[in-house]
Amino acid sequence: MNNIWKELFSSQNNKKAQEQGGLFDSSIPQGVGSRKDAQVRLQKDLMENMVKIRAFSQNTSDLLDRQIEVSGVKVGILMCEGMINLQMFTQIMVRPLSEVSIPNADGEAVAHWVSKNTVFSGDQKEFFTYDELFTFLMAGFVVLLIDGVDRGIACGMQGFNFRSVSEPSTEMNITGSREGFVEPVRINQTMIRRRIRSPSLKFEMYPVGQKSRTDICLVYLTDTADPKLVQAVREKLSNLSSDIVLSQGYLSPYLEGNPKSPFSSVGTTERPDTLCAKINEGRIGILVDGTPFALIVPYLFSEHFQSMDDYSYRPYYGSFIRLLKYFAFFLSVFLPGLYVAITVFSPQMLPDSLLFNIAASEQQTPFSMMTEAFIIHLIYEIMREAGLRLPRPVGHAVSIIGALVIGDAAVQAGIIGSSMVMVVALTALSSFVVPSLYEPAAVLKFVFIIVGGTWGLFGISVGFVLLLCNLCALESFGIPIMAPTSPWSAADLRDNFWRSSWKKLGKLRLHVRNRLLIKKMEINLEYPIPN
């Protein structure tokens, strides 16, 4: 016992040293978060286990422990405050433990009775190390430690609060499901299982992050997904070196093919039906505990322009909407640069009446066309960011003030031309048509403003070719994201720029997707996948 108390006091001295030397001193182990001191087995002495647990956790206030006697044997109960269902804990665990009578009871007899003769929860597991103990505790399990037994029993009784299932905020639709993913990963699993009632649907769960121990879940169909692709995703995620994982954005860099591209080769969705459709095509979904967004790999560039509503409309209208999205994305990237390039270097391309109006509005402005376009688009991005981060009522007010007051005042003061305001408005509206591509579009429009103002239409053409080459060179696990456009496959365009009828898609879509993806994986995954 003396050694135990020495360890406890040593832990307290380390805590004081941390306070004196700095809060984030990496040279000092931060309790069990370092996972070094906790990689030891439990002891048979209950008191020794309880003291070490308190030492590892540094007496955190949310760790609750209680010792009771079950047939004369001491049993320690540990839980995290606010993480369990107290009613379930009282009725299903406390009452049976207090009422049971085991003849000639010892530690092993009580452990055998708890493990074999009772069902405290559907998720009941045994563990042997302090590391496993803390992993279960932080996940909302109730942990039982029995005196005389060198193992523990974890019972799942999660009861923490979470946001209810609601309509996705980033992927709105007119027809179809109104359900969106929520933060708990197991709730998201049930929404997927309800839609795919197949024994081939597989969930693989394991923790990532040295300190956060965040649960991530791979979702795929064993009879559809290529085993090489599944193994490649596992290897990519095994290289994750972050101490803490709080959202899907922590995992995306490890799954992307080329980090030098402005476009991501990893898709995200907030809709269970979208994820189910993708994994039915041989893709792999990745659920992250604590975030309502799921990752999709591999992900094609054309899928940014698809939505669930496209498959509810009639084919001709769905195809029209999809082509409209392509046109809107083109405007959001190239319109400001084209306007600057034409007005500065090639004004003869404009009608005379329009050219005279532009010249009259720009005559009073003190800046060049390129500088004016850069400034006004930068102001728009500032107003958009302010509207997003502020509380919703205040954000709407900021947007209205920015659009009406600042825009009109800038024109009246002669800072910008009225035609430039129209270009900004059209660019902003077009950028919201494809929200998943807003980030690259917002950056690329500034690049093309500078290129168009410096080299004119020639610079715009060269920039477009370079951008297209970058897209065609980008791969996701050996699969070109521009497929089936590059490499060209006319047969696979049934659901690309336009949408065929369900009579064709219902028979051929799965076959076509597998032929497109798996065939290329068989070619490309013969070589090692770059890290």
pLDDT of 300 over the 60 cut: yes
pLDDT at 269: 93
Which of 84-88, 139-143, 441-445 comes out lowest in average pLDDT? 84-88
**Torsional class of 420: left (φ above 0), alpha (ψ -120 to 50), beta (otherwise):** alpha
pLDDT of 247 over the 80 cut: yes
pLDDT at 527: 34
**Residues of the chain with pLDDT > 90: what percent?**
25
- Chain-wide mean pLDDT for the chain? 80
pLDDT of 464 over the 70 cut: yes
176 close to 312: Cβ distance less than 8 angstroms: yes
Which of 160-164, 191-195, 278-282, 339-343 comes out lowest in average pLDDT? 160-164
Residue 395's pLDDT band, with cuts at 50, 70 and 90, is low
pLDDT at 521: 40
Instruction: Residue 141: name the closest of 85, 190, 183 by CA.
Output: 85
Instruction: Residue 373: name the closest of 349, 343, 350 by CA.
Output: 343
Contacts of 253 (CB under 8 A, 6+ apart): 259
pLDDT at 97: 87
Instruction: Residue 232: name the closest of 481, 474, 476, 487 by CA.
Output: 476
Mean pLDDT across 402-406: 65
**Residue with the larger pLDDT of the pair 517 and 100:** 100
pLDDT at 505: 64
Residue 401's pLDDT band, with cuts at 50, 70 and 90, is low
Residue type, 366: P
Contacts of 471 (CB under 8 A, 6+ apart): 261, 263, 301, 481, 482
156 close to 122: Cβ distance less than 8 angstroms: yes
The dihedral built from the CA positions of residue 332, 337, 343 and 349, taken in this order, carries a sign that is negative
Stated as kind and residue range, the H or E segment containing 508 is helix 502-524
Tens digits of residue pLDDT in 477-508? 888 888 878 777 666 677 777 777 666 666 55
Mean pLDDT across 140-154: 91
Mean pLDDT across 250-270: 85
Name the range with the highest mean pLDDT among 116-125, 387-396, 495-504. Answer: 116-125
Helix axes 369-389, 418-431, angle to 10 degrees: 50
- Write out the two tokens for 98: 């207090």
- pTM equals 0.79
Tens digits of residue pLDDT in 171-211? 888 877 888 999 889 899 999 999 999 899 999 988 888 88
Instruction: Residue 28: name the closest of 43, 10, 44, 40 by CA.
Output: 10
Contacts of 496 (CB under 8 A, 6+ apart): 302, 484, 485
- Write out the two tokens for 298: 């591999």
Residue 19's pLDDT band, with cuts at 50, 70 and 90, is very low
265 close to 257: Cβ distance less than 8 angstroms: yes
pLDDT of 303 over the 80 cut: yes
**Residue with the larger pLDDT of the pair 271 and 411:** 271
